[in-house]
Amino acid sequence: MNEIMAIWAEWLKPSAGLPTVQWSILLAMAAIAGHLIQRYTGLPKVVGYSAVGAVAGLAGFSGAAWPLQGISLFLLELGVAVVLFEAGGRIPLRWFRHNPMVLVQSVLESGLTYLAVYGVLVWLEVPRGVAEALGIVAIVASPAVLSRVVLDTRASGPVTERAMVLATLGTLYALTWGSAKAGLMFRPNHPLTDTVYPVAVVLGLSFVVGAVLALALRSALRVMNPTSENTSMLLLALIAAGTALAAHFGGSAPLAALLGGMLLKQLNPRPWTVPRQLGTAASILTMLMFVLVSVVAARADWSAPVVTLMLALVGVRALAKITGVALANPGSGASWRQALWLGCAMAPMSSVALLLVSQFVVSSPANGPMIARIALPAILLMEVLGAFITTLALYRAGESSKPWQSQVAPIPESRDSNGDRYGA
């Protein structure tokens, strides 16, 4: 692919640069693939997006620098921020007063995932610093993949809602802890107590940015129509500004957006749907996010030792999430069958995990490359396989209103002038 790009560069000199043309063509191919995948297999579109990105990455597409930086990092953070803002806006904090076991499920599932992944990787002789970082990455269950699967399958019900809540809370834990951990990786033997202050700083600064975002939107909603396109543009512009500023001040842009969505839900309890307001802009950002993640992850080292460690991480992570959800299931109001499918729905990994890995690589030149070698293949595998597992879980839980079958419309029968049928 690099040779093809070099040939193009000799005679093709677009005004916006050749990478713009490359990404435009790649996104067009991803849109087509997502549509065809959903139409002919019933799988969510994200599978097609990820497949196109993976093929491009394996073919040598070099349109995204690693570790993430510049415009690619900003666009990924912006896409993640939009998704997490919407996910945070779906969490009613009053729910935890009536059903605190859901919060217990979240803490137990996340904690058990970290401990299990960390313990197994250390047993497999992975350095402790690398195992700690990978344990934090493993906590994340992608709200972006979950939201796309829910949208494409038209799913609703207790498993769907709890999966989104658990994925969002797990992301909150991982972003807070991971951002603080990245700032301490230059001190390999720091005590656990030294982590408290960086965690408080990241969480506090992100909360301030999120609160400003929520208050600005709450003030705007007092005078603007929630369904207006001007409200959509204001929302996207404020999230973009928060994304650009949060990390600069020492916080986390995705975490600030998540907290902003949660605060806005409390300040403005009237229901309003973020994706519907943002429309095509959010869809393009989401597609770009999935393609970018798979392009970067596909360029990882796929040697036999790395694949072994990756499969161990993925397997232990899946078992820990199902076990954690099951242990806290009594008293949560869900059946054991629902708990099983809820644990399976926590399988996806995607953009948030990639952002954390990129932070670790930048922060630790010593451990960063090994973290990326193990994490990137796992992210690519669980972006595609995780979407399939989540789709299966929601269908088996009986929460999808759309039958799982190809969406090809049959060609209607017609008759000629003699009354004979033709067509299929």
Whether the per-residue pLDDT at 121 is higher than 50: the answer is yes
Q: Taking residues 374-401, report their average pLDDT.
A: 91
Residue 71, Cβ density class (10 Å: 0-12 exposed, 13-18 middle, ≥19 buried)? exposed
Q: What is the pLDDT of residues 237-257, one digit of tens each?
A: 888 888 888 877 778 889 999
Band (pLDDT 50/70/90 cuts) for residue 48 is very high
Q: Taking residues 98-112, report their average pLDDT.
A: 90
% helix, strand, coil for the chain, step of 5: 75, 0, 25
- Residue 14: the pLDDT is 56
Percent of the chain with pLDDT over 90: 40
Whether the per-residue pLDDT at 233 is higher than 90: the answer is no
- Residue 416: the pLDDT is 46
Closest among 300, 317, 311, 302 to 368, alpha carbons compared: 300
Are 81 and 351 in contact by the 8 Å Cβ rule? The answer is no
Band (pLDDT 50/70/90 cuts) for residue 376 is very high
CB atoms within 10 A of CB 197: 12
Average confidence score pLDDT of the chain: 84
- Residue 276: the pLDDT is 58
Whether the per-residue pLDDT at 271 is higher than 60: the answer is no
**Which is more confident, 227 or 327?**
327
Sketch the domain layout of the chain as residue ranges.
Answer: 78-285+304-400
**Which is more confident, 341 or 272?**
341
Q: What is the pLDDT of residues 143-192, one digit of tens each?
A: 999 999 998 888 898 999 999 999 999 999 999 988 888 877 666 666 65
Q: What is the CATH number of domain 78-285+304-400?
A: 1.20.1530.20
What is the rounded CA–CA span in Å between residue 73 and residue 43? 28
Whether the per-residue pLDDT at 201 is higher than 70: the answer is yes
